[in-house]
Amino acid sequence: NESASIGEQVDYKIIGIEPGAGITGLSHDTLEQYENLEGWTLQESSTAGMIGTLEQAIRNEDPVIVTGWTPHWMFSAYDLKFIEDPKGVLGGAENINTVVRKDLEKDLPDVYTVLDRFHWEPEDMEQVMYDAQNGDFETAAAAWIENNDDKVSEWTKGIEQGNGEKVKLVSVPWDSEIASSSVVKIVLDNLGYQVEIIPVDPAIMFQAIATGEGDATVAPWLPTTHQAFYEKHKDDIVDLGENLEGTQNGFVVPAYMDIDSIEDLEP
């Protein structure tokens, strides 16, 4: 129905992802903080489920609103746009930080130094994510490392070889963080460490670093997406600062939809 409001057309639903994701909590906050979203619901599912719903809507040129973020390949696969979030509930431009357990510096000083130096650009992460679509993350990360010796040697210069010490790299199960964790794993493996990547929900990731069960993570999105988990554990973790600047969350729609702002959605 052409004259129906967007709300009516999408059944007052925002298509979300996993319940444990930071963006899911922020999306619930968004529904609460915008009065015009009264009566709207967030349909939690999975990242694959969200993408499936988005793809199907695009095939039919139907309206759809999903929770999205960048870096993500969906922006190169489809013509999409973020709609404005004037209250900033979903966060503005964010960063990804490196967070390690207390005592990592003492126990594994060289690993700590490499992690502290690890820093790259969204384009680097996207390159690994893009290559992994036609293969796997391990191969894509290895290729990126081979092609970016200048960056990698900045992180590893003067670092002594390890002796097979184990490193538990905790992460989250989204492509962006599988990409960064895979790169860090291979860099440390090549230095003689044995790195295991453990993908868990963001809440568990912070808890693992705080309890010392995990050694490090390069996956926290801050200051907004993972703020609640960060606040809970901030006294028991060591924040080594940004490893990447310029991520973004938001409500995402196909470019053919005539809507620009969350405030334009009708109750």
Chain contacts with ligand PBE (rule: CB under 6 A): 21-23, 69, 172, 174, 176-177, 202, 221, 225, 249
How far apart CA 261 and CA 243 sit, in angstroms, is 30
CA angle 116, 174, 223 (to 5 degrees): 55
Kindly state the DSSP code that residue 161 receives in the 8-state scheme.
P
Q: How far is the CB of 60 from ligand PBE (least distance, A)?
A: 25
How far apart CA 204 and CA 213 sit, in angstroms, is 10
Q: How far is the CB of 120 from ligand PBE (least distance, A)?
A: 16
Contact predicate 264/63, CB 8 Å: no
Residue whose CB is less far from ligand PBE, 18 or 116 = 18
Residue whose CB is less far from ligand PBE, 175 or 215 = 175
Q: How far is the CB of 17 from ligand PBE (least distance, A)?
A: 6
Burial 48-83 (b: 16+ CB within 10 A, else e): eebbebbeebbeeeebbbbbbbbbbbbbeeeebbbb
Q: How far is the CB of 206 from ligand PBE (least distance, A)?
A: 11
Residue whose CB is less far from ligand PBE, 191 or 228 = 228
Contact predicate 42/66, CB 8 Å: no
Residue whose CB is less far from ligand PBE, 44 or 177 = 177
Q: How far is the CB of 158 from ligand PBE (least distance, A)?
A: 32
Residue whose CB is less far from ligand PBE, 192 or 199 = 199
CA distances from 161 to 114, 119, 185, 243 (A): 12, 21, 14, 23
